[in-house]
C-alpha cells in the first residue's frame, strides 16, 4: 500500500500503538490526522513528524464525548482519507466491582460508541463519494477469548470484533474495506502499571505489532489476529473445554493482581 502523500487518520495517537503507527506511516510519507485527548503530546508528535513534506494535523478530542466525535467527523470529511485506524481504547484490569460506573460508561463510549459512530459515518460518506477507504478497528484477543478481570473490556472488544467482521463481509467488493485487528498483550502505557508486572514477559514490542497492523490494513484482511503465538492459542481454544481455558486465564490474572497488591510501595 503506497501511502506517500495520502491522508491517514489515527485515533489514540498520543501513546502506544497509535503513536507507533503514526511514526511508521509518517516514515512512509503519509500525511496524518492524529487524535487523542492529550493535546500537548499530539502537538509535540505533529512537530516531530512534520518533516520531508509530511503534513500532520493534531486534533485533540475525547472519543467518549458525542460532541467531540461529531467535530472530528466534520474535520476529517474535508480530507481525502485513504485509511483510518480506530485505535483509541481504554481498559480496566482488576475486579469488575472495583470499577466505577462512570469509568464503565467512559469505556463503553470510547471503545464502542465513539468508534462505531465514526465507522458508520465514514462508511456512509465514502459510499456516497465512491472513493477508496480502508478502515481498521483495533480490537483485542480479549474480544475473541474473554479475559477474567478485564470483563467489561472483553465485552467492548467482543462487540467491535463482531461488528467489524460482519461489516467487512457486508462491504466486500466495494470501495470500502474493514479490517479488525486483534492484538494480544503489547508493551504500551496501557500495560505499564504494577498490575501487569508479572505478565510483562507476554507483551509484544509495539513496533512489531504496528508493522503487522500496517500489513493487515494494506491487505484489507477482514480479521487479523496479531502474532503467531496468539493465532496458535486461538486455534487451540477451539478444541479445549472453555471452562478449562477460562479457569487457567483467570488464575493467571488473579495472580498478577495479587502479586501487584503485595508489592511493597516505594
Alpha-carbon distance values, 250 to 42, 93, 99, 148, 261 (Å): 36, 12, 18, 5, 16
Q: How many CB atoms lie within 10 A of CB 38?
A: 13
Instruction: Write down the least CB distance from residue 107 to ligand NAP, Å.
Output: 9
Residue placing its CB nearer to ligand NAP in the complex, 127 or 257? 257
92 in Cβ contact with 152 (< 8 Å): yes
Residue placing its CB nearer to ligand NAP in the complex, 44 or 240? 44
Angstrom distance (rounded) from CA 205 to CA 34: 21
- Dihedral through CA 152, CA 86, CA 211, CA 176, nearest 10? 130
Residue placing its CB nearer to ligand NAP in the complex, 66 or 254? 66
Instruction: Write down the least CB distance from residue 259 to ligand NAP, Å.
Output: 17
Instruction: Write down the least CB distance from residue 115 to ligand NAP, Å.
Output: 9
CA atoms within 13 A on the CB side of 11: 28
- Would residue 170 be called left, alpha or beta, if left means φ above 0 and alpha means ψ between -120 and 50 degrees? alpha
Residue placing its CB nearer to ligand NAP in the complex, 132 or 221? 221
Angstrom distance (rounded) from CA 240 to CA 227: 20
Q: Which residues are known catalytic residues?
A: 153, 157
Q: Which residue is nearest to ligand NAP (CB)?
A: 16
Q: Return residues touching ligand NAP (CB under 6 A).
A: 12-18, 36-38, 62-64, 87-91, 110, 138, 140, 183, 185-186, 188-191
Instruction: Write down the least CB distance from residue 34 to ligand NAP, Å.
Output: 9
Amino acid at each position: 500500500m503506497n501511502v506517500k502523500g495520502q491522508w491517514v487518520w489515527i485515533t489514540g495517537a498520543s501513546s502506544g500503538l497509535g503513536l507507533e503507527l503514526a511514526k511508521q506511516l509518517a516514515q512512509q510519507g503519509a500525511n496524518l490526522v492524529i487524535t487523542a485527548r492529550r493535546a500537548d503530546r499530539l502537538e509535540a508528535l505533529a512537530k516531530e513528524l512534520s518533516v520531508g513534506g509530511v503534513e500532520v494535523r493534531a486534533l485533540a478530542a475525547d472519543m467518549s464525548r458525542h460532541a467531540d466525535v461529531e467535530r472530528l467527523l466534520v474535520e476529517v470529511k474535508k480530507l481525502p482519507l485513504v485509511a483510518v485506524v480506530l485505535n483509541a481504547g481504554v481498559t480496566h484490569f482488576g475486579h469488575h466491582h472495583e470499577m466505577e460506573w462512570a469509568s464503565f460508561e467512559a469505556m463503553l463510549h470510547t471503545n464502542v460508541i465513539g468508534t462505531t459512530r465514526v465507522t458508520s459515518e465514514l462508511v456512509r460518506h465514502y459510499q456516497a463519494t465512491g472513493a477508496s477507504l480502508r478502515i481498521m478497528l483495533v480490537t483485542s484477543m480479549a474480544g475473541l477469548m474473554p479475559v477474567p478481570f478485564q470483563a467489561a473490556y472483553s465485552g467492548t472488544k467482543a462487540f467491535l470484533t463482531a461488528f467489524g467482521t460482519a461489516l467487512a463481509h457486508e462491504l466486500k467488493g466495494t470501495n470500502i474495506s474493514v479490517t479488525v485487528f486483534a492484538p494480544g498483550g503489547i508493551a504500551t502505557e496501557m500495560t505499564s502499571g504494577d498490575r501487569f508486572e508479572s505478565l510483562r514477559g507476554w507483551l509484544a514490542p509495539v513496533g512489531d505489532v504496528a508493522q503487522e497492523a500496517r500489513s493487515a490494513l494494506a491487505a484489507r484482511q477482514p480479521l487479523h489476529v496479531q502474532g503467531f503465538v496468539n493465532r496458535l492459542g486461538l486455534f487451540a481454544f477451539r478444541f479445549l473445554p472453555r471452562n478449562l481455558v477460562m479457569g487457567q486465564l483467570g488464575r493467571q490474572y488473579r495472580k498478577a493482581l495479587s502479586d501487584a497488591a503485595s508489592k511493597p510501595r516505594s
